[in-house]
């Protein structure tokens, strides 16, 4: 083992095992980020991060549940101990086998015991951080995919919402620069190609996340985000008086899009 040097600012300055684990965890995040930057294509780097964080997440969850090979899945059996009361002639005390469980006392159930014994508080903290990183990277992928297939729709919604907030236009009046007449070309473009676009999104995810367990979750996130943007698009039109309502009545309905998404994602 390396010796401790008080003048060395490195890892051996850590005051506890938890500190060292935290440094190791942060170093792992930094390594994954650096590796993702090695890819020339930004989306490929994002996919790399999603796959890695998904694998870490699955492993930590399995360890927390005690379902990994070698993991403790339940409270350890009790064994008699002749220390304490037994030595003084009293009843023998029972203590869990193994040092870690001895201080824990009786647990509320096998699931909680497996969690505490499996990865502990530090592990649970890391699990939450991994979930956050996975969600963040998935969001980046979704944004990138929607920017490819529905850029005009997404941009219009974001800018129209900002314009409506800035101008304070009351309901029933047009949003300056984002009136129904400006939205009409976007709505017509969406109506002509939305089916082909979501099929293309499905094929992309199937190819880019082949042989991984996270492809379905990523696809669901993309489709959910698309539905939210489209719903916001229609709501912006509805609040702009008769002209907006007329466009909404002519637009593809949200249930129709949901039905097609379910049909495509089942294949």
Q: Domain check: are 156 and 209 in the same one?
A: yes
pTM for this entry: 0.74
208 neighbors 47 (Cβ within 8 angstroms)? yes
Interval 97-113 mean pLDDT: 39
Domain count, the chain: 2
Residue 130 in domain: yes
**Domain encompassing residue 50:** 13-78+110-136
The per-residue pLDDT for 119 is 76
CB burial of 31-43 (b: ≥16 within 10 Å; e: otherwise) equals ebeeebeeeeeee
CA distance 194 to 209: 22
Does some domain include residue 58?
yes
C-beta atoms surrounding 131 within 10 Å? 15
Question: What is the band of 252 on the pLDDT scale with cuts at 50, 70, 90?
Answer: very high
- 19 or 206, higher pLDDT: 206
> Looking at the structure, do residues 132 and 18 belong to the same domain, yes or no?
yes
Token pair, residue 66, equals 């005690």
Residues 42 and 156 in one domain: no
In the chain, % helix, strand, coil (3-state, to 5) comes to: 70, 5, 30
Of 225, 213, 221, residue with least CA distance to 54 = 213
- Rounded Cα distance between 164 and 159, Å, is 9
Task: Label residue 115 by pLDDT band (50, 70, 90).
Answer: very low
Would residue 5 count as lying in a domain? no
Residues 123 and 158 in one domain: no
Q: For residues 120 and 43, state if they share a domain.
A: yes
pLDDT tier, 106 (very low <50, low <70, confident <90, very high otherwise): very low
Residues 187-201 pLDDT 10s: 999 999 999 999 999
Domain assignment of residue 102, yes or no = no
The pLDDT score that the predictor gives to residue 183 is 96
What is the rounded average pLDDT for all residues in the chain? 81
87 assigned to some structural domain? no
Q: Same structural domain for residues 130 and 173?
A: no
């Amino acid at each position: 083992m390396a010796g401790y040097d008080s003048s060395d600012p490195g890892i051996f300055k850590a005051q506890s095992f938890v500190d060292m684990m935290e440094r190791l965890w942060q170093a792992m995040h930094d390594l994954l980020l650096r590796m993702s930057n090695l890819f020339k294509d930004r989306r490929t780097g994002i996919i790399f991060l999603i796959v890695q964080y998904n694998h870490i997440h699955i492993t930590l969850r399995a360890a927390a549940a005690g379902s990994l090979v070698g993991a403790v899945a339940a409270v350890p059996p009790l064994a008699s101990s002749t220390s304490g009361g037994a030595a003084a002639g009293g009843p023998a005390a029972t203590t869990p086998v193994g040092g870690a469980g001895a201080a824990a006392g009786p647990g509320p159930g096998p699931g909680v015991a497996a969690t505490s014994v499996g990865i502990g508080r530090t592990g649970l903290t890391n699990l939450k951080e991994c979930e956050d990183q996975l969600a963040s990277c998935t969001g980046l992928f979704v944004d990138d995919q929607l920017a490819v297939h529905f850029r005009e729709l997404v941009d219009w919604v974001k800018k129209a919402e900002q314009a409506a907030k800035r101008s304070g236009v009351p309901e029933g009046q047009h949003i300056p620069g984002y009136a129904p007449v400006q939205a009409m070309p976007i709505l017509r473009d969406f109506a002509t190609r939305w089916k082909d676009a979501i099929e293309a999104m499905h094929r992309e995810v199937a190819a880019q996340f082949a042989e991984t367990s996270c492809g379905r979750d990523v696809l669901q996130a993309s489709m959910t985000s698309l539905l939210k943007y489209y719903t916001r698009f229609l709501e912006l039109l509805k609040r702009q008086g008769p002209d907006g309502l007329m466009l909404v009545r002519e637009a593809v309905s949200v249930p129709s899009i949901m039905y097609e998404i379910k049909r495509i994602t089942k294949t």
